[in-house]
Chains A and B, each alone.
Chain A
Amino acid sequence: MGSRNKISSSQLFCLLLLSRGVLSVACGAFGGNIGSAALSAAIALIASILLSIPVLYLGKDGTAELQSGAGRAVSGIYAIYFFYSVCVTMSMFTVLREETSGMRISVILVPILMAAAAVYASYKGIEAIARCGALILFAVASAFVLLCLSLIPKSDMLNLPPVGSYKVADIIDNAVIMVGEQSCIPAILFIYPHIKGSVKKPTVLWLFVLFACVIFLSLFITSILGDYALSQPFPVYSWARLSSFGVLQRLDSIFLAVWTAGVFVRLTLLLWVLSVCIRYAFGKKPSKLAAPVFGVAALITAVAVPFNTAIRSLVLNPGLLLFATIFCCLVLPFALILKRRLGK
């Protein structure tokens, strides 16, 4: 493994924050209610820390277990999970585009370009993805700071609902979505051998920063949109549409641009992890074809999502996503730990 395939702890942090953050922005695809999202985020933070423990416990040697014997089958299951995650990400991208621009721009062309770019970038290796991710994270963070600053005068504390008015069902629904979207936690298992330095610290820091941002944004957005947020499929996007800075109007275009760049990094990372899974399961040759093959399959799924309710409800299913994430964060790592123990 050359130095080109090594990333630092801070790059890992940036990559995880960006990859997971872009999904929070499009939470409306799952039908979540932003009103009580702050409380759900606190629950999701605790759940995510618990889910990351087995992966972090496996550590660098976890990948050795994945490349031999029954571990290969586990790698295959992880590949299916990451493929599902790619489908979810691509579908969110097409659904948000559908909601924000109708179908004026070709529903197929943009995802094709996105998938092609992501497949190409995934061949460049984790180091290139991490460098790109850090740059894009800087752009995303700058854009959000700009949007927040421009919208501060529009916030009204009366729009924040009292905690007593939160519905338990909403809190649980949001927490399910937030934990279900944590596909970055099992991905750490495959990135682990490529990291110079500590993994535990950036992972824990990532979870705290991520959910702190989610809590802040959900409260801030609710204080601006009030009950209007309930009528919007993508409240974060609707929030961005209200922004303006002096003569600069309609800053939502900035939001869409940086969000698209963030989705690109997430897709690239997932496709790279997916090809690593295939390499562990089936060897080097098939892994070279993994990114384009799964990329095309995800593209077909994502393009079908806006038109087919059955596919949409299957792909963007919070319950299924939560089950898959818990299975890959807890059950499979425990199986690997067991394998290691029995092997000794």
Chain B
Amino acid sequence: MNNYLLIPFLPLAAFLINILFGRKYLKDNAHWVSILAVAGSWVVTVITLLDVLSGKVVNEDIYSWIVSGEFKVSVGFLIDQLTAVMLVVVTTCSALIHIYSVGYMQGDKGYYRFFAYLSLFTFCMLMLVMANNFLQLYFGWEGVGLCSYFLIGYYFDKKPASDAGKKAFIVNRFGDFGFGLGIIMIFLTFGTVYYEPVFSQAKVFAVQTINFLGYDVHLMTLIALLLFCGSIGKSAQMPLHVWLPDAMEGPTPVSALIHAATMVTAGVFLVARCSPIFSLSETALMIVALTGAITSLFAATIGLVQNDIKRIIAYSTISQLGYMFLAAGVGAYTAGMFHLYTHAFFKALLFLCAGSVMHAMSGELDLQKMGGLKKYMPITYWTMLFASLSIAGVPGFAGFFSKDEILWLAYSGQSPVGKFVWAIGTVVAFLTAFYSFRLIFLTFHGKFRGTYEQEHHLHESPKAMTIPLIILCIGAVASGWIGIPHLLGGGEHFTEFLTPVLGHPEAHGTHAEEWLVMAISIIAGFSGVGLAALFYLVKTDIPVMLAQKFNATYKVLWNKYYVDELYSFIIVRPTIWTAKNILIGVTDAKIIEAIVNGIPKGIGEFSRILRKVQTGLLQRYAAIMALGVLIIMAVMLLR
């Protein structure tokens, strides 16, 4: 039985029902369809997971999708350990966030639309992770991008929202440009785009070089990097990270589901999925690691000074995704996946808590206008606190185990940049703890700094929202426990589970070193929390003073390193300028149209001259005739 087909197609059915009948018939009951579907998916996922745990791997085609010449690809599914992990993450987070949305979106005029999109997203995401070939992966990949576009721009009547949606889509297209070419290179290299033959043959090409656009390049490096372009876009890594902070214009559940837990991690999933290719190229891995490390540092620094509660979490997401790439880049794919998995819980939770706060604050996002919310919304406070402890890497929480594994494997792995990225990772761990707790302290502690009406309105969120918070909170705390390292007496079950697909990461270090690395990361985490406490609980004038003292730095950070402005300056504006002033203004109007209209005009002029020759004077006519005769005779006789 192809039970597993229910996993993606239940949400698809829900989408179709909602989009076709939602507006007229379902209206406020639209969520039932979607929730039931995703819950069904979740149940089947669990069954499938059990199958996979018992060693059953599915890889089969459903029907032939595109056939053209030797290019053949089907719609087909692969369910192995890696897929299973993603399935669990996706269906769990999706189900919880669906439920949360019932409370959050209540009364919205596009209620059915929201749930339709959520279901569609779930379908696409599941297609993405369940594909058994690159083209179907690409289908899911673009599909989730589309849903992201829809959901970011959900409040389409607001310009910033529709701008942000568009931006997300287009920026991702840049990444997909490379991704698509990567798929084409894979086909041209292997003659197929199915995972299984590609990965099993990859080694054949380990030393192959190829001429690409006039340059001789290492084939596997080329393919890996082209694929990685896609990851950079989807997972918002530098330099294509710009869309994710803006994506916060979408409803908060969307931020939690798409822009924290699932879609943005697709890039990491892609690298993990293609690990047989990446592993053949040291250069590619190095670039992945460095991209991840630099992005995580870069985003973390921006996160330090922002005041928008969702944007801080967004930068935190970028930063954490960087972490995952850092892991993949040093060959620790399992660690990356582990962090992906824990991150899904605590980051989704953070967003949902932020949503809960917004709910209470009537949509207010500015940290500076909050404060002291702890007493009004205890559940939100506690769950968010646990999430923050998790992300800050406090021992025992999920985030601690995954982050620690990454840092340790970076430090001890084979990668030439391992030590370097470890150092960055550690700094980022400190920064992460700092900004996460800055957020907690500014939001929940101290005095309320908002308006009187806002204060009057403060309340805990409804059950539909808090229950998912609590469930996710359990995940944020406990999900890491299945990957406790041997060092701490754990079984590293997570790594073991994924080993058949991703291989076992190699670590070359002593126990002492491992302890040391762990200690440093713990210290980094705690000092971050401590410093945040100092700045925002005890000596609250320090941040202001620092901002004044290091005004230039502060400004750069506040303005996110001016990347948006840079893009606008070097890409967007020149392109539109060229379109207006060169293509329309010169080539089309002054050159092509000048010729096109010029020739008839010239003929017309000539026609008017001919008309003037026709004077009506008989003598003139006779003279012209005679002249004609003379010329003809002259020519005929003299030649």
Same complex for A and B? Answer no
Chain A residues within CB distance 8 Å of chain B:
none
